[in-house]
Structure 1
């Protein structure tokens, strides 16, 4: 699709069911899913299993003559013990990127909305036993707050793990940093505050999911969009923004950020592009009385 003068293409890496819905969005009541089953299924929820459905995808933006990737998925060949579903994944993602007219050497900018394994994986690829940048000409835009937070040298500053799951995530984040962040730091801009990519695109902080979690805002002509990364894992979080995913580092801040971003989208007509929605993947949000709702899918 085109948003003003910017072309937006979705390139899928993986799609399917990845966990129980009320485990992924733990505060959500069962009736929130059941009452909306007629439109959540089949792209976002499987009523028979109670499983959440979604996608891992990259948004390709062509803006002012440059190719910009927003998030880079899981990547192939990775040790991911914290999530067996994606351990040593092998997909044809680069082939799908080529089908969209993008070769690795065509990419000018890579945006990581935050540092989680499913947003930074194709930053690199494995060649002759070494992790090297997958996009040799690109500048990698990484939130400084996340780079500092996930840098293994700063592990002592992070809260101690409370559960076995927390420990697995902690160990997994070390692997993610080693294979997907450290090899591209020489090509990275560690931004803070905000960062203008070009005349149409700006990066802004949206903390809570991670300390450096961010959104990409697009404004071109009279058209508006916002790429929200992991502020949303399911459309039920549009209806009730107070419900976080189980992956949020700071739940209170994440919920406040989510509500603020969605209310701005509803009030200004921004088209919302989450990282993990199945189906069309983008939605128009509006106010329905005192609540928020999805007006239509884009």
Structure 2
């Protein structure tokens, strides 16, 4: 699924990078081998490579056109950013050209939503111009949660809880992808449980993966979708939501949030749209007798 219409909202998908990111048993340590094997027939090769055992990820941005606004959900990796993971380090990719293929130029973007402030969700917030990091989208408001902003701000001296990633990258990400847009006066730091973007789009606090992680809720006509960021990484979490990732700051809270979000999705027939899921990129879930299942993939 690269393009669809939900009610009055047009949704497009821009994939910046796809590939094998890291060993799945490292990223999802609570998932037993037998569970991978049980679902291997449909997880391989789009979500987990059965030969290498690696988690297969998409780094992607969702482009929404809603009520005259052009809204980006997360901005991926970015170019020229020094990062420890080789897939993220000092890229020279064609993201802006791909964005242009959807009919969107940087100056056309009205709102950038960062579901949370990890490096692979904020990279194209900025780009390097004459040795300085400047906002990529000069006319946009960058909407991010204040809890996350304060948590990742190095001046507050937080201690990273996730076991995958590094404090060095956290600080670099804040310096090159978050602080410059804040200094440019383009950041909106929202607080509370909800933030309304327009009549069809709103944000809801969904903590755990990071303290200020958010889900974007789309409700237009009879259609519903939840852009869940990293509440879900891999589709096995759609049917076994107790399993979290070592990328999360608080795995217990993250699992609790995932149950709540999936319960909402099942009750409202909402399409669940994770940030990194390959294949169709989204699915509807059903809940029966306390168990979840994938009802259908997006098409």
TM-score, normalization by structure 1: 0.95
- Per-residue CA deviations over 1:200-234 (Å, capped at 9, x if unaligned) read 00011000000100000000011110000001111
Alignment of 1:145-224 (within 5 A): 145-155=147-157, 158-159=158-159, 169-185=166-182, 186-193=185-192, 194-224=194-224
- Per-residue CA deviations over 1:105-154 (Å, capped at 9, x if unaligned) read 10000000000000000000000000000000000001000000011110
Name 1:115's counterpart in structure 2.
117
Name 1:2's counterpart in structure 2.
5
Question: For 1:290 and 1:203, how far apart are their aligned partners in 2?
Answer: 26
Name 2:266's counterpart in structure 1.
266
Query: Normalized per residue, which structure has more helix?
Result: 1
Question: For 1:106 and 1:256, how far apart are their aligned partners in 2?
Answer: 37
The answer as to 2:59 corresponding to 1:56 is yes
Name 1:21's counterpart in structure 2.
24
RMSD, aligned CA: 1.3
Assess if the C-alpha contact under 8 Å between 2:160 and 2:167 holds in 1: no
SS state of the match for residue 26, structure 1? coil
The answer as to 2:90 corresponding to 1:88 is yes
- Per-residue CA deviations over 1:150-176 (Å, capped at 9, x if unaligned) read 111101xx23779xx66x611210000
Name 2:69's counterpart in structure 1.
66
Assess if the C-alpha contact under 8 Å between 2:161 and 2:249 holds in 1: no
Assess if the C-alpha contact under 8 Å between 1:227 and 1:273 holds in 2: yes
Name 1:246's counterpart in structure 2.
246
Pick aligned residue for 1:44 from 38, 42, 47: 47
Instruction: Tell me by how many angstroms 1:251 deviates.
Output: 1.0
Name 1:277's counterpart in structure 2.
277
Instruction: Tell me by how many angstroms 1:84 deviates.
Output: 2.6
Assess if the C-alpha contact under 8 Å between 1:59 and 1:70 holds in 2: yes
Quickly say closer, same or farther: Cα 1:221–1:87, change in 2 above 3 A: same
SS state of the match for residue 87, structure 2? helix
Runs of 4+ in 1 over 6 A off after TM superposition: none
Question: For 1:69 and 1:250, how far apart are their aligned partners in 2?
Answer: 26
Assess if the C-alpha contact under 8 Å between 2:70 and 2:110 holds in 1: yes
Quickly say closer, same or farther: Cα 1:160–1:112, change in 2 above 3 A: closer
- Per-residue CA deviations over 1:48-83 (Å, capped at 9, x if unaligned) read 1111112000000000011000000010000102x2
Unmatched 5+ stretches in structure 2 = none
Assess if the C-alpha contact under 8 Å between 1:161 and 1:170 holds in 2: no
